[in-house]
Amino acid sequence: MRAFLILHGWDNHRPPGHWQYELAAALRERGERVVYPQLPEAATPDVDAWRAAAAEALREAAADGARVTVLCHSLACLLWLGARPREAAVERVLLVAPPSPGFVSGHAEIAAFAQLPVSRPDGALIVASDADPYCPEGAERAFGAPLGIPVVTIPGGGHLERTAGYGEWPSVLAWCLDPGAAIVAR
């Protein structure tokens, strides 16, 4: 049995049209178990509250021995890298558009996330744009090389969210269903 845990980023209230919302719907239509919580106080997140909510959501996803694929966007990437629940049920992790600690530390509402000591999760893959204003130095430099995580770079994709054109994202759905599938630009 498998399950998918989807964690959103800063100020994201899981709007229709965002790739995570569309992915959750597509997976559910296929009969997959999907846990996609609204993290508390999305506009002014608290590390401990988000950590607790993510741990509870992971327990729900891993119920009945399910193997879990975690999909994080933006600030949830830093949460997972720095404060993730340690859980053997997690099989794969997709980190999409992680913001750099330098960017995060410059915003009082989320600065505490920049202080988390990041480490490499097993089975992780980063997908990021080469034009993400939230990670100006690039995901390879900020996370890939230092943590030894493979990075797929999407040319000109911005922050890989709804306003950048990332609603339905067929290759992410394909990757969820088949770990060997490549993730490409929408």
Q: Under a CB-based contact definition with an 8 Å cutoff, are residues 16 and 41 in contact?
A: no
Report how far Cα 59 is from the mean position of its chain's Cα atoms: 17
pLDDT given for residue 56 in this prediction: 94
Q: Under a CB-based contact definition with an 8 Å cutoff, are residues 72 and 55 in contact?
A: no
Q: Under a CB-based contact definition with an 8 Å cutoff, are residues 69 and 46 in contact?
A: no
Instruction: Give the model confidence (pLDDT) of 2-47 as tens digits.
Output: 999 999 999 998 889 999 999 999 999 999 999 999 999 999 999 9
pLDDT given for residue 85 in this prediction: 64
Instruction: Give the model confidence (pLDDT) of 120-164 as tens digits.
Output: 888 999 999 999 999 999 999 999 999 999 999 999 999 999 999
